[in-house]
Chains A and B, each alone.
Chain A
Amino acid sequence: MKVTRKDVETVAVLSRLEMDEAAMDKFTGQFNAILDYVDMLSKVDTEGVEPTAHVLNLKNVMRTDEVKPSLSRDQALSNAPEQEDGYFKVPKIIDN
């Protein structure tokens, strides 16, 4: 097992997800199976090969600096789970 439960826990925190013990075990197993498969990539010789982040050779796609209509505040807040005084409302913030 290259990916430990601890690794999966760390990634879960990074992903803002939580899971119970049983799910964690199942997940760790599946994670390892998938990554064992993905490890075939290490066999590929990529010496001197540039990465492809974009498949198109586009560059310099820009717009002119013009103001376009915004949403009304009601529209902006129309999907808000909670709102107050025209603001989005969220629970208290505890830094880490």
Chain B
Amino acid sequence: MNLSTLGVGIAAGLGLGSAYGLIAASFNLIVASTGFFIFALESVVSLGGILTYVFAVDWNLPMIPTAILVCICGLAVGALLDFVAHRPFEGRTTNVSLYVLLATVGLSIAIDAGLSLLFGDTPRLVPGYVSASPLVIDGVAVNPSYLVMIGAVITITAVSEIVFRRTDTGRNLRATQLDSEGVSLLGLNVGRITTGVFAVSGGLAALAGFLLTPVTSAAPTTGAALVIPAFAALAIGGFGSFRGAIGGSLAVGLVVGVVPLYLSSSYVNLILLAAIGITLLIRPQGLFGSTSAREL
């Protein structure tokens, strides 16, 4: 094992880390503002990839309009998730977030099955939104689309941090997560805030699906394969922390990039699962997080 192989592994890991970061960011947005974990967002990622194929290949649209259309569809699906898998539970069960999780797990499984019935299981190649020829940096080939993803992750994280810490909207969102009843007593429309957050998360997930197409192609299984690393990134980084999610994503990306160089790639998910379990057991608030995952 020479050094440049390791370099390839690290480069791939950082690239994958940025992909996980994109998905972790869409999960995180909802966690940070409502406390829900919307499992079905992984299906929105797959959907984003498939829509990219439909718009770019079937309809022959250029890349920028494709990206915009995919995001709009993601926004709509996100808002729909709020109406289907969240609102029906408000006020009807004592543990809304658990029911939201279970309902979105069920939905996610159904959407994935539906997509593979409609689209087929074979991944379909989508023309890249950047040149397909790899950039060579210091002897290591780097897929240029990873650079776009890294840029996107950093932008999304920076914007989320600013929105959550500096603006009224962000303060309302954080307050909603802590005490949605109190916020609604202050006269804010919690329902509308929540729908908005679901929609934006859906849009981000679909955008992630679009950005991932050069790496994963369009397939109904794309999201399902990414949900474990993304969740691991959140657990390590601390649920609800945007900066933590980036750190977690890069750490997970490095594991996924480097481990297959030394061990069978089947170890990757097991290692991640163990990492999630151990992190949650020892530091439920995540390695980088400071606020604890609330138990009560």
A binds B: no
- Which residues from chain B sit less than 8 Å from chain A, CB to CB? none
